[in-house]
């Protein structure tokens, strides 16, 4: 009898059972692929079987910044000795959890002095990832995913309170039920905005901060720039997965001081300095000529000082101006201080001069607001490419 006839006469059948369904768009790490073969024959309807289990390994992928999660500007302008702070938004693209370390350093320092080293808000973190194993309808919060074999409240690095990206939308995980085998469930804090298909990825999304408490000051060269590099490195195995560079340009903020006589025009050879024609902010009803040196005044005459603060391509905050009055043979004209042509009230207690460093608030807060309420100080904020004018008067003792 041939082998074929023997098999037929024994009524032998062999069935091969495999995981049903088509291939998924993303197969999560730690998913178990179980392949079982079953042999049944006459007299043994139950049959005997043998199976093998394959666990899907982590496939690393470069983390990314999605289009809706803008990275810090590649080039920023800031004034001397300012604080720099940037928030980085980072998303996994792997098929499972991976640990990442963060480092921020100056790749180069160009004509800058006194810079403080950058720090990061978290030195390392885990980004989890998985994928749907069945369709999840929109308008409800539950997604079924493959179990990762641990049977905990964390599935493939995802747990309650994590932020995830699904189909381009951001969600927060409310809870996770992770079974030891089979499937697990992720419940979101809000309903799905759109349906999730089998194999659709679920990527964790995190933010971290890079801070510099003092960027330093321009050193007098031509460049005046810090090149800040932030890297995020995968630890399984170690490989560079993300690099982001920011150029911090330190730009000049200037203050200039000028003076003019109120009582009489400045005559030669008294006015020997450079001339600036600027609005005097209200005391003379229009543009006045001020000088940076060489002004002469007789006893009893009134002098008006002009301070000009100029920003360029960087704003400044908590901008406070102090000025020292001449210590001898002169006195401040009460009520004469103007900020952007608007009166500033004198201090309530001596010394009453608003810009005296010993006054109630240690100086005069300025801003570029030309509509400020009379009698008040500025907000302390001056925008880019702005000019701020301050004037006040003194009388020479007679």
Written as six digits, the tokens of 279 are: 């609005």
Model pLDDT, residue 16 = 26
Residue 368 near residue 386, CB atoms below 8 Å: yes
Helix (H) or strand (E) holding 5: helix 3-10
CB-neighbour burial class of residue 351 (10 A; exposed 0-12, middle 13-18, buried 19+): middle
Q: Which of 287, 260, 295 is nearest to 341 (CA)?
A: 287
Residues of the chain with pLDDT under 70: 1-26, 31-36, 40-42, 51-73, 238, 240, 263-287, 358-361
- DSSP at 80: T
- Write the pLDDT tens digit of every residue in 324-361: 888 788 999 999 999 988 899 998 888 889 998 765 66
Which residues are paired to 184 by β-bridges? 145
Q: What is the pTM of this model?
A: 0.68
* Residue whose token pair is 């089979």: 182
CA distances to 343, 356, 357, 373 from 362, in Å:
18, 7, 4, 21
Model pLDDT, residue 173 = 98
Model pLDDT, residue 275 = 55
- DSSP at 10: H
For residue 339, give every residue at least 6 positions away whose Cβ sits within 8 Å of its Cβ, in sequence order, or none: 281, 364, 366, 367, 372, 377, 378, 388, 389, 390
Q: Which of 263, 276, 265, 281 is nearest to 337 (CA)?
A: 281
Model pLDDT, residue 12 = 28
Model pLDDT, residue 164 = 95
For residue 360, give every residue at least 6 positions away whose Cβ sits within 8 Å of its Cβ, in sequence order, or none: 347, 348, 349
Residue 107 near residue 137, CB atoms below 8 Å: no
For residue 338, give every residue at least 6 positions away whose Cβ sits within 8 Å of its Cβ, in sequence order, or none: 281, 282, 283, 344, 389, 390, 391, 392
């Amino acid at each position: 009898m041939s082998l074929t006839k023997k098999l037929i006469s024994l009524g032998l059948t062999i069935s091969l059972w495999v995981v049903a369904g088509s291939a998924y768009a993303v197969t999560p790490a730690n998913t178990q692929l179980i392949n079982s073969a079953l042999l049944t024959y006459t007299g043994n309807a139950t049959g005997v079987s043998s199976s093998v289990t394959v666990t899907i390994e982590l496939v690393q992928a470069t983390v990314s910044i999605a289009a809706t999660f803008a990275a810090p500007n590649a080039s920023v302008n800031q004034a001397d000795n300012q604080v720099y702070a940037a928030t980085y938004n980072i998303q996994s693209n792997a098929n499972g959890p991976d640990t990442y370390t963060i480092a921020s350093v100056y790749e180069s320092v160009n004509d800058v002095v006194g810079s403080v080293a950058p720090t990061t808000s978290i030195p390392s973190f885990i980004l989890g990832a998985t994928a749907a194993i069945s369709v999840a309808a929109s308008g409800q919060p539950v997604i079924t995913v493959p179990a990762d074999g641990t049977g905990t409240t964390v599935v493939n690095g995802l747990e309650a309170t994590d932020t995830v990206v699904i189909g381009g939308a951001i969600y927060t995980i409310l809870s996770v039920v992770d079974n030891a085998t089979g499937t697990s469930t992720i419940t979101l804090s809000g309903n799905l905005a759109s349906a999730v298909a089998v194999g659709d990825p679920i990527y964790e999304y995190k933010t971290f901060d890079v801070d510099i408490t003092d960027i330093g000051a321009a050193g007098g060269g031509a460049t005046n720039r810090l090149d800040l590099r932030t890297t995020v490195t995968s630890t399984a195995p170690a490989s560079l997965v993300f690099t982001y560079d920011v150029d911090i340009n330190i730009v000049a903020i200037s203050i200039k001081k000028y003076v003019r006589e109120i009582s009489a025009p400045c005559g030669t050879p008294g006015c020997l300095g450079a001339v600036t024609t600027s609005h005097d902010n209200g005391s003379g009803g229009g543009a006045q000529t001020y000088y940076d040196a060489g002004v002469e005044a007789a006893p009893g005459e009134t002098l008006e000082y002009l301070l000009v603060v100029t920003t360029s391509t960087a704003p400044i905050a908590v901008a406070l101006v102090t000025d020292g009055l001449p210590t001898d043979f002169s006195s401040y004209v009460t009520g004469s201080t103007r900020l952007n042509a608007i009166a500033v009230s004198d201090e309530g207690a001596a010394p009453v001069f608003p810009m005296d460093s010993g006054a109630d608030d240690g100086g005069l807060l300025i801003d570029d607001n030309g509509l400020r309420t009379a009698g008040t100080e500025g907000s302390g904020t001056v925008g880019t490419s702005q000019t701020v004018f301050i004037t006040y008067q003194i009388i020479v003792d007679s």
